[in-house]
Structure 1
Amino acid sequence: MNWLTAAKRKKIITGVILAVLIGGGLYWYTGAAGAPKRDVLVPITVTRGTVEALVTAQGKLEAKQYVDVGTQVSGQLKAIHVDIGDTVTKGQLLAEIDPRVYQAQVEAGEAHLNSLRAQLNQQKAAAVLAEQNLKRNQNLITANAVSQQALQETESQASVARSQVESIAAQIQETESNLKASRTNLSYTKIYAPMAGTVTTLPTKEGQTLNANQTAPIVLQVANLDVMTVRAQVAEADVSSLKENMPAYFTTLGNSDHRWTGKVRQVLPTPQIVNDVVLYDVLIDAKNEGRQLMTGMTTQVFFILGKADNALVIPAELLTRRVAKEDTDKGKAYRVAVVTEAGREQRVIHVGLQTRTQAEVVDGLQEGERVAATRPAPSTTQANNQQRGGNNAPRLNRGPQL
């Protein structure tokens, strides 16, 4: 009985201790959670750096100058003399179409032309004879040696002979024109490079039949890869800020550390609607040094709206109090708290270029001065981490007030 009483007593003591611990924990937790959080002032030093105002977009690379080489005649592709990646010169033979049909048309036209020329010579001789008979009868009619009817018949024969000569001459002219077209079609069976460059695409194969009756089939593409064009798609909210000859740079997915520089060549006025988003194509030209850029590469494009080198820079989060009435030609006015030896000093500064994270100070601050930034007080855990050497205080980036 005494043993059972001791066991019960132990359980009761244990329960009381647990209740006290739980109650104390809840009291501490509710007290800490309900305690008001106070912001702290953190001094930020004014430094020098580079500020860039940018518009970003994605784009694709393509050759600035390229030609889709097609065929103007139909037939079987007899031979292709180049391959993808080959460098070609202007006028170089690229491919051939079976010329037999067009060669036969040329030979038939030449034969018909020779026949018409022979007929023309024959008809000219007949016309000369008709003219001679006409002159003879004209002389005989004065002596009443021939009848008037005979004279009229010779006049008609001479006129018909002259007309037949003119008709055959016109047929010869028509045949020569048709023969010229046939020879041109025959020349089209040999496809030459219209420009110097590199073969970038080759969608056809030897032995393939090409039909040029409706559209010109593309045999291959020749491109000049010395200068590339980025076709960037810019949102409608940003496109109004872009102008021709504006500097820009871009990176590729395969080499994000290398910046390729160029200038805006053209802002195309026709929009592209992708998933209900209105985008405008902007073309940027860049030299392809080392031929590292290839067609179809994805790029990240940065259009430079403005740039300030070696400028006084402060975080954009400090620009929370706008003073629009004190704006000048130097820039927009903001009021900041400057930390001095005497305490905090309220001062109006003027800001030039602004980004989401940085701002260029053009007036009101000097390098090395400190500006007070309001930050939330660190929690107990963060304070303990700071005491152990950690710096996990949260940074509030409130951004500039417009």
Structure 2
Amino acid sequence: MKKSIEEILNPSKNTNRWLYIILIGLIFICCTIAYFLFTQKPKIIYNTTKPILGNITQTISATGTLSATNDVEIGSQISGTISKVYVDVNDNVKKGQILAEINPNKLKQTLDGYEAQLNSAKANLESSKVTLQQKKWNYERLEKLYKATKGQSPSQLELQTAKLDFLQAQADVKIKQASMQQIQTNINAAKIDLQNSIITSPIDGIILTREVSAGQTVAASLNTPTLFTLAENLKDMKLVVNISESDIGKVKVNQKVSFNVDAYPNQTFYAKVNRVNFASTTTDNITSYETNIFVDNEQLLLRPGMSATANIEVASAKNAMLIPIAAIFYQPNIQTTQKKKSNASLFPAPPPRQKRSINNAKNINGTNATIWILKDNIPQEISIEVGVSNSKFVQVLSKEITQDTLIITDSIIQ
């Protein structure tokens, strides 16, 4: 009775006792939870797949521009004013067809001047020929007389003077003949210029561009001005792309090519590699090689200047054993690192998924690679020989891999 009265009179002692008991219980619970969290082994779930049989194609992607196989720029070799233009863009023309004319008046005037000079030179030549005959006759007469008189008449001086006059007349005739040839050359050049005033097509083709109009003046003193651009045949075109030096060794003539253009986003065009240039170009420290692709444009859907994205088929395999390319990138050591980090916290964050990088792939094409397989629920690392690959699958050439092999492509720690 006395104890109960003391407890009633001192309630703080009773409260503290219960607080101690509750605190000890909480510590025990926390230690139990921590023990299970830190000692429980993480569970790893492996994502696996089996090899499949199928066809695979490896391609190299490149961008380029379409152009005609034979572009011809038609210019003017003479200066003058365009008097007439007979064609326009997209017109089909034949070889020899007149495209435009340059005003020929000045050229005709120049030609008439040379012809007048030629007529004057012919008259001077005839006069020189008459003088030559006269000097020749005088020299021959004095020479006969000199021989007949045995040198007594005429004097030797007179005979020598007559001879020099004869030779001078011969030279004058030759000079006049050379002058006529020079004038004739000028006449021929003036006739050529007159012919060049008529701009004609050198090929059968289509007008791509027209740079002149009637009344426009062209000057050909320094550079030949371009008047028209012709395409010989738009049914045969070429696609010019640049291939990087890391891929150029795989590109060969006659390889199949598929490409798309923005004008027809839902249509795929097909072509073949026509030529791979040996010369290289370097832009921003990137070396590339120009490659020409022959394009059949029978339907005339494609036009010069269109940009295209081409995929060149550099390798292919049929009925090949294929595994996902993710299996080549899988690296289990990353998962171990993640497991250690997760144990360092009482409330670990959800484990991140396997990170993949192209740098994890080891010689995907044509050599060896490392993959992981699941055998008896235990991951095993093996080396395989691989062949053709693309962005999704890679061909396996090793006989150790069968269609029943479980290939690890990813793993998650729980």
CA apart distance, 1:349 = 4.8
Contact 1:268 1:282 in 2 (8 A): no
Alpha-carbon distance in 1 for matches of 2:256, 2:271: 8
Alpha-carbon distance in 1 for matches of 2:384, 2:157: 118
Alpha-carbon distance in 1 for matches of 2:53, 2:263: 32
Aligned in 2, Cα 1:170/1:151: closer, same or farther, shift over 3 Å? same
Alpha-carbon distance in 1 for matches of 2:195, 2:394: 66
Contact 1:41 1:372 in 2 (8 A): no
Larger radius of gyration: 2
Alpha-carbon distance in 2 for matches of 1:156, 1:287: 78
Contact 1:124 1:165 in 2 (8 A): yes
Matches within 5 A, 1:232-271: 232-256=241-265, 257-267=267-277, 269-271=279-281
Equivalent in the alignment of 2:228: 220
Q: 2:175 aligns with which of 155, 167, 184?
A: 167
Alpha-carbon distance in 2 for matches of 1:259, 1:338: 43
Aligned in 2, Cα 1:221/1:36: closer, same or farther, shift over 3 Å? farther
Equivalent in the alignment of 1:354: 389
Contact 1:81 1:95 in 2 (8 A): yes
CA apart distance, 1:71 = 0.6
Equivalent in the alignment of 2:341: none
1:301-349 deviation line (CA, Å, top 9, x unaligned) = 1122211133222211123589xxxx9x98536455367xx87896765
Contact 1:203 1:219 in 2 (8 A): yes
Equivalent in the alignment of 1:292: 301
Equivalent in the alignment of 1:206: 214
Q: 2:161 aligns with which of 150, 153, 156?
A: 153
Matches within 5 A, 1:301-312: 301-312=310-321
Equivalent in the alignment of 1:66: 71
Aligned in 2, Cα 1:288/1:214: closer, same or farther, shift over 3 Å? same
Aligned in 2, Cα 1:38/1:378: closer, same or farther, shift over 3 Å? closer
CA apart distance, 1:240 = 4.6
CA apart distance, 1:374 = 4.6
CA apart distance, 1:243 = 4.3
Contact 1:348 1:364 in 2 (8 A): no
Equivalent in the alignment of 1:371: 406
- Unaligned runs of 5+ residues in structure 1 are 1-26, 380-402
Report percent identity of matched pairs.
24
TM-score (norm 1): 0.75
1:74-100 deviation line (CA, Å, top 9, x unaligned) = 001111211111112222211111111
206-215 or 96-105, larger mean C-alpha shift:
96-105
Contact 1:243 1:267 in 2 (8 A): no
Alpha-carbon distance in 2 for matches of 1:300, 1:189: 43
Contact 1:123 1:165 in 2 (8 A): yes
CA apart distance, 1:103 = 1.2
Aligned in 2, Cα 1:343/1:272: closer, same or farther, shift over 3 Å? closer
- Unaligned runs of 5+ residues in structure 2 are 1-29, 332-362
CA apart distance, 1:200 = 0.6
Equivalent in the alignment of 1:103: 108
Contact 1:272 1:281 in 2 (8 A): no
Aligned in 2, Cα 1:336/1:122: closer, same or farther, shift over 3 Å? same
Alpha-carbon distance in 2 for matches of 1:77, 1:270: 42
Matches within 5 A, 1:3-402: 38-141=43-146, 142-143=148-149, 144-224=152-232, 225-256=234-265, 257-267=267-277, 269-273=279-283, 277-319=286-328, 332=368, 334-337=370-373, 349-364=384-399, 369=404, 371-377=406-412
Alpha-carbon distance in 2 for matches of 1:315, 1:278: 31
1:346-366 deviation line (CA, Å, top 9, x unaligned) = 676542112332111234378
Contact 1:314 1:361 in 2 (8 A): yes
Contact 2:273 2:291 in 1 (8 A): no
Contact 2:366 2:388 in 1 (8 A): no
Alpha-carbon distance in 2 for matches of 1:54, 1:241: 10
Q: Which amino acid aligns with 2:294?
A: D
Contact 1:203 1:218 in 2 (8 A): yes
Contact 1:53 1:307 in 2 (8 A): yes
CA apart distance, 1:206 = 1.6
Alpha-carbon distance in 1 for matches of 2:42, 2:182: 100
Contact 1:331 1:362 in 2 (8 A): no
Alpha-carbon distance in 1 for matches of 2:393, 2:84: 62
Q: Which amino acid aligns with 1:297?
A: M
Q: Which amino acid aligns with 1:189?
A: S
CA apart distance, 1:67 = 1.0
Equivalent residue pairs, number:
342
Q: Which amino acid aligns with 2:389?
A: Q
300-309 or 138-147, larger mean C-alpha shift:
138-147
TM-score (norm 2): 0.73
Aligned in 2, Cα 1:36/1:183: closer, same or farther, shift over 3 Å? farther
